[in-house]
Amino acid sequence: MPRRLAWEVLEAVAAGAYADVALERVLRGQSVSPADRGLVTELAYGAIRQRRCLDGWLDRLGKVPARKQPPRLRWLLHVGLYQLLWMERIPPAAAVNTSVELAKRHGLNRLAPVVNGLLRAALRARDAGEQLELPQDPALRLALQYSLPDWFCQQLLSWCDLTQAEQIARASNQVPPLDLRVNRLRSTPAEVTAALEARGLTVVPIAECPDGLQVVGSGGDLRQWPGYEEGHWCVQDRAAQWVAPLLNPQAGDRVLDACAAPGGKATHLAELMGDQGEVWAIDRSAGRLQRVAANAARLGTGCLQAMAADAAALLEHKPNWRGAFQRILLDAPCSGLGTLARHADARWRISAESVAELVPLQARLLEAMLPLLAPGGTLVYATCTIHPAENGQQIAAFLEAHPQLVLAHERQRWPDPAGGDGFYAAVINT
């Protein structure tokens, strides 16, 4: 069953579904053990990440290029190849035989010999230590080696040298660590660590994140872990935990989180303020704001208020908000190029054209924040991308248009193989 479900996820993503949504949909209503659920997740996300490399093996071993294969066959072969080439704990016979059986039982009976022959050829190549032949061009080599789009690797090498580009590419292919943020309103890092370790989990502190803990290994459904229902902690990547403190929110402040869903940074702001003051969490999607409200309720952040609205037109709806906020966080819609490890399918959705379309939207949002900011206030512009056009170049243009503003600090965090998404933030004072 796990391999069939993973196959269904790959088909759904190829048809346009988001990987996490497709995974939850195929698992819903299934009687799947925690171990099998983990296998489905690893197979699906792993094969989606490695699509470029898997196609490379199909091109090398098959008579028909990967992109000309019947789609259902292509994705089934990806499931089989991923097991053979990336999952050492799966017996080769199991990877081959289950793929052949899936072909026979699910409409590919006539192609079952193709599945058998190609996977066995891959196994022989693996056992002989063979590798894909990599292109001489550095960008194309990086793209095939780390299963990334050509355009991304070409631009990446224009932003940084080859050594750093390889580090970013490697980080983009790793399973991200599980990072928690301790809710100081209800617990402490020491108390959360003790409770989780008593359950048999391994917990280590995260450098530069005073409230951050990394859980090493797996421990089943984290909603069943001690402290979850009580709101002692939430899941938040270490790079995202770095953003809210940049605002330096104080008790009694009025704070705006302009693009807030699902609410991780908004609740963090409320916690940093001791739940004293106002945090307005704004998002265009009323549905996504339900998650903000649910997170706020679980974490006990009573000063957080959610409102569905277009952040680019807030002053039209709330004219009394002119100059009303001491702190504003604009966690802007972005390409998400810093979170490719966390979102397995994102690399195949994003394009140079889609990045270019986001830049004007980010600029409009920045302009819309200024009238809302109180004299002497602080604006933090943040993204989870590493594209300069969305980050440093965006802020440089904004500051040039508003010379009265002061850039207090900016930082680009690159995806790190040791853990942590790529993030950018600029702290701007009036």
User: Which residues belong to the active site?
Assistant: 384
> Which H/E stretch holds residue 282?
strand 278-283
Strands (E), 190-236: 202-205, 212-216, 233-235
In terms of Cα–Cα distance, which of 228, 234, 231, 285 is closest to 260? 285
The sheet with strand 406-413 has its strands ordered as: 304-308, 278-283, 254-257, 325-331, 373-383, 423-429, 406-413
Distance, CA of 168 to CA of 416 (rounded, Å): 7
One-letter amino acid at 390 equals E
Q: How many CA within 13 A on the CB side of residue 242? A: 22
What are 61's two structure tokens? 């071993």
Strand partners, 180: 213, 235
Distance CA 395, CA 363 (A): 9
- Give residues with Cβ within 8 angstroms of 29, minimum separation 6: none
